[in-house]
Structure 1
Amino acid sequence: MTGVDLPAQSAQILVVDDERLLRLMLNHAMQKDGYQLLEVSSGEECLFVCQQKLPAMVLLDAMLPGMDGFTCCAKLKQIFGEQCPPVLMITSLDDQSSVDRAFEVGAIDYVTKPIHWAVLRQRVRRILQATWTLAELRQKMERERLLMQQLEAANQELCRLVSIDSMTQLANRRCFDEFLQQEWHRMLREQAPLSLILLDIDFFKAYNDTYGHQSGDECLKKVASVISQAIKRPADLAARYGGEEFAIVLPNTPTEGAIHIARAIQTEVKALAIDHSGSTVSNRVTISCGTASITPRIELFLDQLIAKADQALYRAKLAGRDRIAVYNETLMTPIPDT
């Protein structure tokens, strides 16, 4: 229902005038258009009534005993702000300063005494229609704002889903590739070390063959949870690299920091105590880790960091699994479990 279609019967108008005869005449004029009328004789009564229930509009006499109409209008604006009903000032003063003052205190329009009733009725109708239209517009804008919020939330969730591996809830390979590229360039600018950990669940094919793929999926989820909890900084990223292999990107982290995190993950995975009778290194699930740390330089390439971490992981497996092997720009060595 639009503002122009809103029934007049739903509009309640408050008449504020100390002259009883004028109130009766206003009542009669407004009722011709079907408005509901309330009458008070002072500014104080006007404020009291409005605090109980706001009318659709206030017809306010400027010259009232006690609190005059100008003061009353200003207080209405102060109390109700944007919710304040439109005020049509009725005044016997026709000088420019009084008109200016009426608008300054917040009146939306004015009529002078003696009242031209046809003009008054038209102005009331126009003001109410404008008020209803504005209210409808605000409601529409609020609905659109809420819709935009919902759309933004949906877009964020979509972006999250596109970036997340559904099984492990870690970042997926696509997200990993984009993040590592971004951090390589950032560390190149800052000339700070970038570390990468690649880790595998030892003998995971044998685990699936022994316990079934459903148990294998549960094992992946538990190991992923350990990895996620080991990553403390918002700047770091843990991802499912592929199959049973995971990757951890550690910006601004030297070799020692990467080893510390790899050890913590290794320890916590063992603490899960997941049976693995198909393993030749332990009767529990274990992991092998390869870490690489490089300070990016113009002459180096991102693929070299990945290749070195992969080489380190291969060395860890070659050295017997259930251990960490480390590559940095000066060494490549396996670190046995301690």
Structure 2
Amino acid sequence: MKVTLQENQSLVLIVDNEAFNRQELRFLLEQSGYRVAEAKDGTEAINVFQQLHPELVLLDTILPDMDGFECCSKLLSIDENKHTPVLMITEFENTESIENGFRAGATDYIIKPFYWPVLGFRVRRLIEESQLHQKLVAANLELQRLVTIDFLTQLANRRRFEEYMDHEWRRMARLQQPVSLILLDVDFFKSYNDTYGHQSGDRALIEIAKVIQNVVQRPADLVARYGGEEFAVILPETDALGAAHVAQRICSAIRRLAIPHINSQVSSHVTLSAGLATLIPEPSSNFEEMIAAADKGLYQAKAAGRDCFKPNNLQSICNMRVFLSQILMSQEESSRVS
């Protein structure tokens, strides 16, 4: 494999078993300002492609270890989302070869012997089209990100929450694993806004969002702004004890944040109330029952005095040690009975 080292230029991979052909193409491409990598067969082409991710592949149809059509198909399967253009070079101008090339995913083809100005034009066009395509893909991804992100907190928004909840609910139903949901509400937030102003309220929500996101760090978990001063945390493959542990850590972290709230009825600082629900979904069920259960827990946490969390089907708990000790006592009692 050979490659020039000018990193600011487009990289073209030449795949041809004839050294002379590769040298000729290299010279012409480098004269036109491109970087060049070479491969003498399909196996080497695949390795180079994986390592360097060229912007264009010039691929001969005749290779010693596999034909160019098979090589083309394998190359494009490596990086399906990048849509790297492949220009097939063939000695045979027949319908079957052309159809095989396009069927394998080739973008265009050229017949040997070729006229360099024509090949140079096609190389430039294909690279420009590829670069434009990548910009469009990046723009679409950014647009998709923006429509699923809450502008103020930069967390997932309600739309993204429902999409992800549905996805994980179905996945956990297939795996028959538990999924947990935590609904969190800022205690007496209307009073906070009335006291400090809505701009301070927005800043408080931003800080709270950062704290929750710092606590919930598993890639599969999702933190969302559920609405207003409410947040939601989706915890796939997490049982009730695990969810309670996360809720306790969040509530404790918000207390340590110590945002002043002189008109709170439970503390001199901003606090959270939380409702938890944990279920193993049935294949034909709907995640709305999970939301309803967590919302019920949130209501019970508020009724119990706020600044605490209410796990599903457990009494309101404001201290994790109490919760753990209850679990341990229950386990020891069960052992004695058995």
Q: TM-score range by the shorter chain?
A: 0.5 to 0.7
1:334 is aligned to: 316
1:141 is aligned to: 126
Report the Cα distance in structure 1 between the residues aligned to 2:257 and 2:296, rounded to whole angstroms.
27
Q: Given the alignment of the two structures, is residue 211 of structure 1 paired with residue 193 of structure 2, yes or no?
A: no
Contact (CA 8 Å) 2:309, 2:318: kept in 1 or not? yes
2:184 is aligned to: 199
Q: Given the alignment of the two structures, is residue 232 of structure 1 paired with residue 217 of structure 2, yes or no?
A: yes
2:241 is aligned to: 256
1:305 offset after TM fit, Å? 0.8
Contact (CA 8 Å) 2:170, 2:283: kept in 1 or not? no
- Between structure 1 and structure 2, the one with the greater Rg is 1
CA distance 1:299–1:132, shift in 2 (3 Å): closer
Question: Partner amino acid for 2:282?
Answer: R
Question: Partner amino acid for 2:213?
Answer: S
Deviations 1:120-143 (A, max 9, x none): xxxxxxx99921121121111111
Aligned ranges for residues 43-192 of structure 1 at < 5 Å? 77=21, 80=23, 82-85=25-28, 130-192=115-177
- In structure 2, stretches of 5+ residues that fail to align are 5-17, 30-111, 321-338
What is the root-mean-square deviation in Å for CA atoms of aligned residues?
2.6
1:324 to 290, 309, 321: 309
Contact (CA 8 Å) 1:322, 1:337: kept in 2 or not? no
2:253 is aligned to: 268
CA distance 1:77–1:249, shift in 2 (3 Å): same
Contact (CA 8 Å) 1:289, 1:313: kept in 2 or not? yes
Give the structure-1-normalised TM-score. 0.62
1:232 offset after TM fit, Å? 1.6
1:175 offset after TM fit, Å? 0.8
Q: Any idea what SS the aligned residue of 1:288 has?
A: strand
Identity, in percent, stands at 47
Report the Cα distance in structure 1 between the residues aligned to 2:250 and 2:161, rounded to whole angstroms.
19
Residues paired across the two proteins, number = 225
Displacement over 4 Å in runs of 4+:
74-78
Contact (CA 8 Å) 1:172, 1:241: kept in 2 or not? yes
CA distance 1:282–1:131, shift in 2 (3 Å): same
Question: Partner amino acid for 2:242?
Answer: G
Report the Cα distance in structure 1 between the residues aligned to 2:191 and 2:274, rounded to whole angstroms.
19
Contact (CA 8 Å) 1:196, 1:293: kept in 2 or not? yes
1:279 offset after TM fit, Å? 0.4
Question: Partner amino acid for 2:25?
Answer: E
CA distance 1:311–1:130, shift in 2 (3 Å): same
Report the Cα distance in structure 2 between the residues aligned to 1:277 and 1:234, rounded to whole angstroms.
37
2:206 is aligned to: 221
Contact (CA 8 Å) 1:184, 1:296: kept in 2 or not? yes
Question: Partner amino acid for 1:279?
Answer: S
1:77 offset after TM fit, Å? 4.4
CA distance 1:201–1:142, shift in 2 (3 Å): same
Contact (CA 8 Å) 2:274, 2:310: kept in 1 or not? yes
Q: Any idea what SS the aligned residue of 1:332 has?
A: coil
Contact (CA 8 Å) 2:174, 2:283: kept in 1 or not? no
1:184 offset after TM fit, Å? 0.9
Question: Partner amino acid for 2:211?
Answer: V
Report the Cα distance in structure 2 between the residues aligned to 1:193 and 1:129, rounded to whole angstroms.
62
Report the Cα distance in structure 1 between the residues aligned to 2:309 and 2:253, rounded to whole angstroms.
14
Q: Given the alignment of the two structures, is residue 296 of structure 1 paired with residue 284 of structure 2, yes or no?
A: no
Report the Cα distance in structure 2 between the residues aligned to 1:82 and 1:268, rounded to whole angstroms.
62
Give the structure-2-normalised TM-score. 0.62
